[in-house]
Amino acid sequence: KLFVYEFLGDELLSDSFPYTEIHNGVLWEVAGKWVVQGAVDVNIGANPSAEGGGDDEGVDDQAVKVVDIVDTFRLQEQPSFDKKQFVTYIKRYIKLLTPKLEGEKQEEFKKNIEGATKFLLSKLSDLQFFVGESMHDDGSLVFAYYKDGATDPTFLYFAHGLKEVKC
């Protein structure tokens, strides 16, 4: 299953990345991971230490480190927001999204968005901001930050802005 942004169809997440609901289901928290891309480790059965080879032997110069979620869904990093810009974005996002939600989902979103917004504001200086591949800033932002001591980023999604698509 893929999760696409409700308005634009940008693919932002799939069920191969497990999520945890936080702030009464308004936010999804997803663990990202730094991965090495382009390096193919081919074991030809030789023993490099016996042959005097160093540890770096066989490492492809084209190898780059990427964050799996950013790379998989071609997320585009955006400049960060200050508090005023963030509040303006959230107000616009709520106005765009609320009418698209039905019944229970709309009530749940309206009731819990404030708590989720306060949580994001408390982390504002640590957040990275991403948009989907279409680069449309009316779309849902995806946020990333590093939890205390973590070497891999944690991503935050507005759950109500995602639509599940069977693939």
Query: What CATH number has the domain bearing residue 111?
Result: 2.170.150.10
Residue 64 lies in a domain: no
pLDDT at 8: 63
pTM (whole model) above 0.85: no
The domain of 160 spans: 2-35+69-165
User: DSSP assignment of the chain, as one string?
Assistant: -EEEETTT--EEEETTS-EEEETTTTEEEEE--EEEES------S--TTTTT--TTTT--TT-EEEEHHHHHTT-EEEPPP-HHHHHHHHHHHHHHHGGGS-HHHHHHHHHHHHHHHHHHHHTGGG-EEEE-TT--TTS--EEEE--TT-SS-EEEEEGGGEEEE--
Domain contains 55? no
Residue 18's pLDDT is what?
A: 94
Report the domain count for the chain: 1
Kindly give the parts of the chain with pLDDT less than 70: 5-8, 39-61, 137-139, 167
